[in-house]
Amino acid sequence: MPSDPVQPKLIIHGGAGSSLKGKGGVDAVRKSLYAVIEEVYALLLAGATAREAVVRGCQLLEDDPRFNAGTGSVLQSDGQIRMSASLMDGTAQRFSGVINVSRVRNPIELALTLQDSDDRILSDHGAAELLRELQIPTYDPLTEIRLREWMLERAGNFTKEMAGVVAERELVGDNAGHGTIGVVVLDSKGQIAVGTSTGGKGFERIGRVSDSAMPAGNYAMPQAAVSCTGIGEDIIDECLAPRIVIRVADGLPLQLAFQRSFEEAHQNRRDLGAIGIDQTGAIAWGKTSEVLLAAYHTGEKVGDTLDWQGEQLVAGIAGDRS
């Protein structure tokens, strides 16, 4: 762990899917992502730890009804919302999370509470009991557009296999699924953390579990951290987040670890995306889907991936902590 302060780094995502429709859609999502970047990066400059910054970033994204996590989560086949979230502290190498939790505003807060627990992953009933123990007020994350999606699907008029990655029908293409939010942080002490949260893929079988509640979709070590988005089953089959992180821990540069992992995922016809940061301050992202809704702060500039198209699987920015 470095003794001298380092430049904090931050990258967040709001899901992956098909192309956003029109410049208005891109601008709306960019505005939401940049607002989160601005607030969380200010916290990092004020001395917040990686874990604190990750939790705050996830809270802000969960509170934005545009994204499929927290408020604005999609409905499962029975019309209920069941959310999953996890948090991993790379320095402690400790994972915690909740699976299919309902009636809570910020699932990431439960994952944070469980970081210091002997039992660090809870399913629906256990998470509900934890909510009662913490005396957290119940909250209904349902939004009108998510209810409308479900009603259209029930009536046979909703053609998408998954609910929209962005909760504004005029902003998304016909196949724009795969909504998840994620935050990866390197703080001024060189500590890394990651959090991921989702409402699921929409219309799924009752009890289906997202990769967002598993190390497959959310993983960190002292050397790197990765948050995934996309088809959860594809991410689990690739074990994508730990695959990338372990390659970095074994000595590969972050972008090369992303490249190899996404080449393999592409060969296996997976539909997914991911973001990551390593201990040098390198930032990387990758996708096999059309669009990855991500934004980042390098310490010098803010950028995003919203206009990133074409056949390229991976992109990134080299680290420099000198």
Which are the catalytic amino acids?
180
d(CA 249, CA 265): 20
Q: In what order do the strands lie in the sheet with 314-317?
A: 218-221, 224-230, 272-278, 283-287, 314-317
The two structure tokens encoding residue 314: 């991976």
CA distances from 144 to 21, 51, 60, 65, 192 (A): 21, 32, 20, 10, 37
Relative orientation angle of helices 124-134 and 107-114, to the nearest 10 degrees: 80
The two structure tokens encoding residue 108: 């990431």
- Helix or strand or coil: residue 94? strand
Sign, CA torsion 286/289/290/294: negative
- Helix or strand or coil: residue 202? coil
